[in-house]
Chains A and B, each alone.
Chain A
Amino acid sequence: DVKVTQSSRYLVKRTGEKVFLECVQDMDHENMFWYRQDPGLGLRLIYFSYDVKMKEKGDIPEGYSVSREKKERFSLILESASTNQTSMYLCASSLSPLTGGGRSYNSPLHFGNGTRLTVT
């Protein structure tokens, strides 16, 4: 079974703090993703990475950065947390449909348990 582990389930931070959200997966997946989920807005992609040290902006990258120094680990960084970044953050991983061959063609995203971040 794929396991995607997010380091914190709940986090409370103050405005202006630098915040690190960590995610580790144990299935050697190429792709890793960070989403945020807010009521009425659904899942929105912040950043994703398809290889070590590679990153691509998603739909809402402003105010965030990411780091992927090792294949299994993908970190989301809030450089200066603001109250509008209060949200549920979800990390996910998947095989690459571009390089993984036939079996990865239908590779789903596997999600971590989520981190509920509150910025006060």
Chain B
Amino acid sequence: QKEVEQNSGPLSVPEGAIASLNCTYSDRGSQSFFWYRQYSGKSPELIMFIYSNGDKEDGRFTAQLNKASQYVSLLIRDSQPSDSATYLCAVRQFISSGSARQLTFGSGTQLTVLP
């Protein structure tokens, strides 16, 4: 079983709509959760991270974390064509574990915002 799962998409939304990207993870001890955006041919860039249950907002982006249900989501409000990219979810495991040095990545969700 993959440790971090994302719907690969493609997900298409009209310009101005809310895009909702979801991610589930298998390790209950996971501590920190990251969302990266990757444009075609480019390297991933960090959008935001979250580590507490609930919502965290940064501009048009909102990350939502539910540790009991083991999912994390990213909402993009007022979606723009420039948001068209692949969105990667990444998870860090329990802090005292040696593997906490690593992030485990999902395979990404491809988002297309239609003008």
Contacts and interface: CB of A to CB of B under 8 A. Distances in A.
Given A31-B101, A98-B101, A114-B43, A108 B49 contact: yes
Contacts of B31: 97, 105
Nearest to B105: A43
A84 interface: no
A85 B102 CA distance: 23
A111 B43 contact: yes
A106 to B, nearest CB: 5
Interface string A83-120: 00000001000101110000001101111111000000
Given A106-B51, A111-B44, 16 more contacts: A42-B107, A42-B108, A43-B44, A43-B88, A48-B101, A58-B102, A94-B101, A98-B100, A105-B32, A106-B32, A106-B49, A108-B49, A108-B103, A109-B34, A109-B44, A109-B90
Interface residues of A, number: 24
A48 B49 CA distance: 22
Interface of B: 31-32, 34, 42-46, 49, 51, 88, 90, 92, 95-96, 98, 100-103, 105-108
Contacts of A108: 34, 46, 49, 90, 103
Given A42-B107, A105-B31, A105-B51, A98 B96 contact: yes
Nearest to B103: A109
B42 A114 contact: yes
A96 B101 contact: yes
Contacts of B44: 43, 90, 109, 111
A27 B31 CA distance: 23
A46 B86 CA distance: 21
Contacts of A109: 34, 44, 46, 90, 103
A111 B45 contact: yes
